[in-house]
Amino acid sequence: MFRHQKELQFEVKVERPDPLFARQVQEVLGGQFGEMTVMMQYLFQGFNCRGDEKYKDMLMDIGTEEIGHVEMLCALISQLLDGAKPEDQEQAAKDPVTAAIMGGINPQHLLVSGLGGLPTSSTGVPWNGSYIVASGNLLADMRSNLHAESQGRLQVARLYHMTQDESVRATLRKMLARDRYHQYQWMAAIQELEEKNGVVVPASFPPEAEQESQPEAYEFWNLSEGEESSEGLWATGSAPDGTGNYVYISNPVAKGQIYSAKIPATELHHDLDHKTFDK
């Protein structure tokens, strides 16, 4: 059960309207790594979580917090759009200063949402469910969550330097702080799950089924010009789970066969010459 509390999670205000910046903020609302994505990702992971109750509770806690972040961003976009009118775009062509401010306004903020936030990216691409990851494997999902928070915080940090409005920056600082903690949180969950089940996903796949391919599990193949990649931790030392030692292969050799696909039946009308290919 969800309840809506009228107070925003943090105070949201602007010093002056800025329709162009409102368009840019849309990215961290409805873009691939925006708040709508992490909200839905954590909630669906929580809805579908099985096993240890603490992981379900944690996912639901953070997913619910992200609902509040979506509301905050909608409030921020609305304030940035206050007073924007269709005539402003017409006037933008007449005055260079106004054009610089209003020329990049998202027309959908005027035509579709009535000066409100939209479930889209900064370029107007609609948010969609394919952005989210909810696999049912906790370690795989926690790693995806760390990735999502890393990308989202990166974008908020870039937005911070794109505005001089200190009131807007105050809101972005709050988001940056929460995204910092969320990265810590996912890292802690990843560490806990790795200590419990191992570092490779899925941990439940039987090791004996990989026996024939064991060498490939620890080899780094150099497929670039030069040998610089040999200097990384991925090419020397032992695997994180201690199951084997890395081997650097300077000039890997293909071990498979040359494969040629068979020509399909003529009824499929590929117009391929069987006589030519059957030689």
The residues spanned by each domain of the chain are: 19-197, 206-279
Structure tokens, 217: 């599990």
| Among the listed residues 223, 224, 212, the one whose alpha carbon sits nearest the alpha carbon of residue 252 | 223
**CA pair distance 31, 39, nearest whole angstrom:** 12
> Does domain 19-197 correspond to CATH entry 1.20.1260.10?
yes
Q: Which is more confident, 212 or 194?
A: 194
Work out the average pLDDT over 250-260.
91
Work out the average pLDDT over 165-190.
98
| Residue 231 pLDDT > 60 | yes
Task: State whether residue 5 is helix, strand or coil.
Answer: coil
Average pLDDT over the chain reads: 90
Residues 75 and 13 sit within 8 Å (Cβ to Cβ): no
Backbone angles phi, psi at 88, to 5 degrees: -60, -35
| Among the listed residues 151, 145, 154, the one whose alpha carbon sits nearest the alpha carbon of residue 182 | 145
Among 10-19, 85-94, 200-209, the range with the most confident prediction by mean pLDDT is 10-19
| Among the listed residues 96, 128, 125, the one whose alpha carbon sits nearest the alpha carbon of residue 108 | 125
When pLDDT is cut at 50, 70 and 90, the band that residue 107 belongs to is: confident
| Residue 86 pLDDT > 90 | no
**CA pair distance 241, 252, nearest whole angstrom:** 25
Q: What confidence tens digit (pLDDT) does each residue in 125-166 have?
A: 999 999 999 999 999 999 999 999 999 999 999 999 999 999
Task: State whether residue 264 is helix, strand or coil.
Answer: coil
Residue with tokens 């910092």: 180
| Among the listed residues 40, 39, 36, 41, the one whose alpha carbon sits nearest the alpha carbon of residue 77 | 36
How high is the pLDDT of residue 216? 86
Work out the average pLDDT over 175-191.
98
Nearest-5° Cα angle at 246, 240 to 249? 150
Largest CA distance in the chain: 77
| Residue 209 pLDDT > 90 | no
When pLDDT is cut at 50, 70 and 90, the band that residue 99 belongs to is: low
Q: Which is more confident, 28 or 214?
A: 28
Structure tokens, 173: 């600082």
| Residue 243 pLDDT > 90 | no
